[in-house]
A and B are shown apart, each in its own frame.
Chain A
Amino acid sequence: MNNLGIIDSYVTPNTPEIARTWPKDFVDFFKRIGRVKAVEGLPIKEMIKEMDRVGIEKVLLNAIDTQAFSIPNEVVGEIILQYPSRFFGCAMIEVTRKMGGVRELERLVKKYGFKAFKLIPSYLNLPPNDKIYFPYYSKCCELGLTVQVQVGRTNLPFLNEPGRPAYLEEVILFFPELKIIGSHIGYPWTDEMIVLAEKYENVYIDTACYNPSTFEDTFVNFLKGRGNKKVLLASDWPVAEFENYIKEFMDLHLSEETMVNILRDNACRAFHLT
């Protein structure tokens, strides 16, 4: 698969400068899962070498904008501008900024070419069908941006409930042209997320935060069947290592066609990549 040009749909940049700013919750989490190297960070050039070693051509880079922690959109934007063939970006803005945030999103997209917009509804305790998001969704439609929404439980001390995938259905129906990614599979509501991805053309699921060896049977069955065009490979690096993640994925022994879809083609469709 090394010549396929794998696309990884969920990565958080982790340069040594960024690593120094991880809050204690995250540092403890990295240590707990044995990713001590992640605590130190890795320069972008070294990260690209890791990508090359396993045949990853491109990754989505997340910006983070929450009260607890921030990786500024500008920092991500500059990396994308420097390596446009290797990275594409997912911007994040606290939606409580209302129209100020909507205007900022448009500015960021025009300046840096971001392809996606990130929402983590649990952080605000506002489910994704709340009206506070609607001006952002309409702006994403206008700009052709894909919305990446975290679904499922959260590992941080916030309510899980806003992560229920079912909240997305109202958004999907109101904005049928909007491409929506249920990010992080959706556990413990995996079936609820699968239903949406099966039912609606523009809905996808990324695998962030779950190693392929731990995928639930229901999800493996989905990606072998009708989900083969709806699932995006997402390592959630630096939480997982690229090499191990790809190896575990290969060990699922999927058909070649399904592999190609999940490792690359679905992401091209979901993010309007050329």
Chain B
Amino acid sequence: MAIITYRQALKDALAEEIERDENVFIMGEEVAQYNGAYKVTEGLWKRFGDKRLVDAPISEAGFIGLGIGASFLGLRPVIEMMFFSFVFVAWDQAVNNASTIRYMSGGKVNCPIVIRGPANGGTNVGATHSHTPENMVANFPGLKVVCPATPADAKGLMKSAIRDNDPVFFMESTLLYGNEGEVPDDEDFLIPLGKADVKREGSDITIITHGGCVLASLKAADALKKAHNIDCEVVDLRSIRPLDKAAILKSVKKTNRVLLVEENKPFCGVGAQLSHMIQREAFDYLDAPIHRISAVDAPAIYSPPLEKIQIPDAALVAREVRNILQIKA
């Protein structure tokens, strides 16, 4: 176990998989000579050279499509989106082509590609650069989506994603890159896609969340314990599709109360699916209506103090838990 940053954990996963499999290469804007816009690939070009680290021009549709085509012949491209928001200019390639090729070929063609990059708001870069499209991507059968919150999860999921034979969208967060945490050194440290992690055990209420909101939820849980002796259970989905339904239902049946927290916008967000699933499968276990927290339902605002308000934070999570439990601040 070493204590390293989320960024370093990703870099280690990429380096280990490049060394392990000659078919793995990284392509994207500024990934090689510039060392990565967010330094996730720093040092890898120097170490592995031009073949494995490829600087692409600003042509997302072109190089995502290239990656998909190359994956048909057995290569395992890891394509970096400088911001995940940029995937929209390549939507036909990333979503239409990657999600349907195996199906339409009757299982003859596979697409083992990873599309990765930061997908978060909260950095005052305005609405075009702040999207969290995990819900949209998860709406396409054929695609997989993961959103790790900790360094260990980032590493273990990245390694699994690269070895996966289906297209995986790997959504990171610029706000998490500098966070430190314990990460196993084992080169075969894999976290399965579709396996949630209970980040904090509790008995009073279940908070189900993913990505950056995991940290806000944990912070809220600590504050609630201190102030009100409330024990929140925090379930980190880690993976959106596949989804760990069993872990979700297990926790709901244990605490009987649910708060869903995500940075996504509310309409057809991940929480909408979870809420439906929980009411259908655990209706009799619920002692209160399911509550949801999402980003305030408008494009991401630039103004720094307002963007802080727009995206769920620990205070909002704590407030909503108190609402569900009917506890006064």
Asked if A and B are interacting partners, one says no
